[in-house]
Structure 1
Amino acid sequence: MTSDDRALIDRFLEMMAAERGASPNTLLAYRTDLTGAAAIMGTLAQAPKAALADLPAAWASLAASTVARKASALRAFYAFLAEEGLRDDDPSAALPRPATRRPLPKVMSAADVDRLFAVIAGRLAADPPARLDLRLSALVELLYGSGLRATELVSLPRRALSADRPFLILRGKGGRERLVPISDRARAAVAAWLAHVPADSPWLFPSGRSHLSRIRLYQMIKSLAAAAGIPPDRISPHVLRHAFATHLLEGGADLRALQAMLGHADIGTTQIYTHVDSRRLVELVNSRHPLATMTPRR
């Protein structure tokens, strides 16, 4: 990869951050995909269309979703070059467009959630409860009770939650703000944890010089699952977010309300949760539809 390529990638990522509000994780993914493509082709910004046509062969062993993501990053990069007058053409038409299917979320039963909270309750029964168990309680209550993303959770400011306000306002993916309801249980768990947070910490979940990392959160959830007798590979912070959405929908939540709480820009993303509710929908038609109470004619 040439020095010009590195400079243009930097300019592209600055634009994505400033104009489109791309998150640090998104920017890192773009940089990885662009530098990887440059390594394959030898150059990036001035790569001919024929060089891009060779990429599918290099990506042949990758999943369709991964190929689609890499191709999307390159399309955005070449569109940026064209808009800035840095290329006379846009060669991205040569990139593949693999057909992808949105994967269904892992489903976690309410019984499994109960087992997680039973382990936490057992630990909190100690007198006094351990500091790290109070932290774990607050984390899991917010994950399952509010459907926060892992990054949103670990980076919460110390004063994000207020004792007299049953919600918080988050800036999530793409810089979009949303209102997130916070249950009484979660507020109580956070209040208990706050007593152990240093007064000068800007973070609700501090760790070292920054906040708790997503990787450490992931490890904590896996460890909790093992203690509850649940296979750790079935659970992650994101699976708890899925459980929040799935169980709300099963309880009768409106899909649009769920979209707002999860912070999905597209209702299509929220609709992946409707697959888990098919049995309830059938029961709903059989019990609530006007025809259900009518005697069939012979």
Structure 2
Amino acid sequence: MELELEQFITYLREVKKSSNNTVVSYRRDLTKLNQYLQNQGIQSYEQVNETSLNSYILYLEKEGMAASTVSRNIAAMKAFMLFLLKNQFVTNDPTERIKSPKIDKKMPEILTIEQVNRLLELPATDNKKGMRDKAMLELLYATGIRVSELIGLKLQDVNLRSNYIICRSDVKERIIPFGVIAKKALSDYMNNAREELICELSTEYLFTNRSGQPMSRQGFWKLLKKYAKEVGIDGELTPRMLRHSFAAHLIAGGADIKAVQEMLGYSDISTAQIYMCTSNRKVRDVYVSTHPRA
């Protein structure tokens, strides 16, 4: 059973060109499924039927898995079983009648403009680290990119002349503009701080830590948490909240939802439509332009 799983993972990477996150999560979910099936005495996928898979889903639910996690596991099952069927490892698809649980879409948590402004004005720009932090925070809010995309940016991905960055993935790349405030923060950092921070090391990454190594996800979360505490933002501030705020603030200011979808990198416009609700609910009346820092 492990052989078929490895062939599926290779298919995801080389044929489907799936993102690394998708490959990692599918491998993890399907490995767990394999272990469960083998514990039930199932030694080949031809023995797997709808009952055994429903039993596994019940097991996940009893383990306290969230509906979204169960739904992701079912998606992995369906994709894997379809792969097995098409490659004649099995003669029928036992997932055909299995339905994913209904997931209630939560309203995304967003910051107010006043909170965002206080946060972005906090880093001290009279020192190198503060310049870097200012540039990172301004760029994150100006573009709505994911934290993984932020720390993965390279020098060649930034065009200061035309005010845009290029976000690259295994599947596609997208061009995202940014405004004059983010441009100034980036320019100050790149011209006056980055060379000293990289400690004479050679690196193509835009943002580094104080040792000159590429900034890590944990490192960015740590500095974000520090600034959130200093500025007095209640609860846990996450990079995702800045991404949500970027989208909600743009839409509240009148931006086209299709353009916001493309900047966020969503494949389905319905994913971006939830921000319409947040804009109608609490932020539209305080905006006079599409982006408050553009």
- Using the size of structure 1 for normalisation, the TM-score is 0.83
1:1-27: per-residue Cα shift (whole Å, max 9, x none)? xxxx33322221221122222221221
Per-residue Cα deviation, 1:202-242 (whole angstroms, up to 9, x for no partner): 21123579632222222221111011111241x21111011
Q: Is the 8 A contact 1:179 1:261 kept in 2?
A: yes
Superposition deviation, residue 282 in structure 1? 9.7
Aligned counterpart, 1:71: 74
Residue in structure 2 matched with residue 228 of structure 1 by the alignment: 231
Superposed counterparts of 1:93-172, under 5 Å: 93=96, 95-120=98-123, 123-124=124-125, 126=126, 129=127, 131-172=128-169
Partner of 2:180: 184
Match of 2:2 among 3, 6, 13: 6
Give the structure with higher Rg (CA): 1
Q: Secondary structure at the match of 1:97?
A: coil
Deviations 1:16-40 (A, max 9, x none): 1222222212211111111111122
Q: How many residues align?
A: 271
Question: For 1:61-101, what per-residue CA distance to the aligned partner results, in whole angstroms no more than 9, with x for missing partners?
Answer: 22211111101001111111111122122111364421112
Query: Is the CA contact (8 Å cut-off) linking 2:60 and 2:70 kept in structure 1?
Result: yes
Contact 2:108-2:241 at 8 Å conserved across structures: yes
SS of the equivalent of 1:28 reads helix
Three-state SS of the structure 1 residue aligned to 2:278 is helix
Percent identity over the alignment is 29
Q: CA deviation at 1:163?
A: 2.5
Contact 1:8/1:45, CA 8 A, preserved across alignment: no
- Tell me the equivalent position of 2:33: 37
Residue equivalent to 1:48: 48
For 1:55, the aligned partner's letter is Y
Q: Which moved more, 1:19-28 or 1:66-75?
A: 19-28
DSSP 3-state at the match of 2:91: coil
Query: What letter is aligned with 1:64?
Result: A
In structure 1, list runs of 5 or more residues that go unmatched: 284-298
What is the TM-score when the length of structure 2 is the normalising length? 0.84
Q: 2:46, 2:89 within 8 Å by CA — same for their partners in 1?
A: no
Verify the 8 A CA contact 2:67 2:103 in the aligned structure 1: yes
**Could you say what secondary structure the match of 1:92 adopts?**
coil
Tell me what 1:295 maps to: none
Amino acid at match of 2:15: E
Q: C-alpha separation between the residues in 2 aligned to 1:175 and 1:108?
A: 31
Q: Is the 8 A contact 1:171 1:177 kept in 2?
A: yes
In 2, Cα distance between equivalents of 1:7 and 1:56 = 23
Of 181-190 and 204-213, more deviation after overlay is shown by 204-213
